[in-house]
Amino acid sequence: MDLFEKCYNYTLANEYRAQDLFPYFRELQSRQDVEVVMEGKRRIMLGSNNYLGLTVNPEIIAAGVRAIEEYGTGCSGSRLLNGTLVLHREFEAKLSDFLSKDDAATFPAGFQANLGAISALVGRSDYVICDRENHASIYDGCKLSYGKMLRFRHCDMDDLEKRLKSVPETAGCLVVTDGVFSMSGDIARLPDICALAKKYGARVMVDDAHGLGILGEGGRGTVNHFGLEAQVDIITGTFSKSLASLGGFAAANATVVDYIRCNSRPYMFAASIPPASIAVATAALDHLRAHPELPAHLRELTQYMRTRLKENGIKCIDNEVPIIPIYTYEPIPTLTMQKELYEKGVYVNATIPPACAPGECLLRCSLMATLTKELIDEAVGVIAEVIHSHSL
């Protein structure tokens, strides 16, 4: 059998292209901002994870430029060998202090942080228990480990307890959950998860990619939001959202972080974060610490948009995060509505399997702290027009 046969037999993307409904790889011709130029036309950007709007902040841009001028464009090696800059250690110290952890290890991407932490910590005789709606990087981290993966129904604590009961007392166990789930915007039931983990002797890891900069005191994230810094053992996340850069991290006590640094293959055998990216992440973190009102302002804008959607007859879930899913259920209607919104100047993300379960397709709207109410009103008007034209 030809290895490439699967490639030639894969038709789904071309089927969507043939219907002019393929929504991916749209080309930006401007900065990642609240208004962008995409394929020659102005669009209101409601499909970015640039939650605090810091990718266009002049001071943060300047920090990246200075780092390139001082340190060059790259490190040309792993952190283990020649790739550790003073910038990396400075950032790790600031971030671990911000998250109330002893230390943090940084990775070239948030995806890699989950791969690196889980695969290093979960060994052959260990178990890892995951919420079914966890990010793909968590699933891949479990696959890369030698442990046994169990899954529990989304935010279902009875099902989680069943999984915990099935773990042998002689085995180590890690419960892993997103802090904020990237598609639905659901917030994990962390107090219940931590209580169950303590009952059964398991450790807890939270991927807070979509919680950092959003929830908690001054944007410290989901763990801080619930006051569980002492009970959540590992916090992972990314710089590509609220911190306006590229990279990822795993924060924990110093002994655990040192073990990850010395045993994680995705950490040891990858080139380190380039100078500009780590400098930008540091500047963004400094900006967040200096402006603790930013997350609160973002939550205010999020509530405003939810209210405006409801006033226009569009159902949406109430919570505190700037992810607003509009459920469209099936792929073709979802892709059709996303295309119509795009043509009318509003960019949202079409979410279809495998990014969601069958029958749970949605249009994912995400907000930035730099949006204005005028832009939100304009976007909501377009969204309402398109949604109601499909009798959704």
Active site residues: 182, 210, 241
Quote the CA–CA distance of 105 and 247 in Å, as a whole number.
11
Quote the CA–CA distance of 11 and 4 in Å, as a whole number.
14
Inter-axis angle of helices 254-263 and 110-121, nearest 10: 100
End-to-end CA distance of the chain: 45
Residue with tokens 């900006």: 287
CA torsion sign, 219 to 225 to 88 to 123?
negative
b/e code 322-344 from CB counts within 10 Å (16+ = b):
bbbbbbbeebeebbbbbbbbbeb
Q: DSSP 3-state assignment of 28?
A: strand
Q: For residue 14, which amino acid is it? A: N
Quote the CA–CA distance of 320 and 298 in Å, as a whole number.
9
β-strands 203-207, 173-178 pairing: parallel
Q: For residue 97, which amino acid is it? A: D
Quote the CA–CA distance of 177 and 358 in Å, as a whole number.
21
Residue with tokens 């995705």: 266
Please give the structure tokens belonging to residue 359: 């029958």
DSSP-assigned states of every residue in 19-57: TT-----PPB-S-SSSEEEETTEEEEE-B---TT-GGG-
Give the sheet arrangement for strand 41-45, strand by strand: 35-38, 41-45, 346-347
Neighbours of 257 (CB within 10 A): 22
CA torsion sign, 237 to 205 to 216 to 218?
negative
Residue closest to 182 by CA, chosen among 323, 295, 48, 338:
323
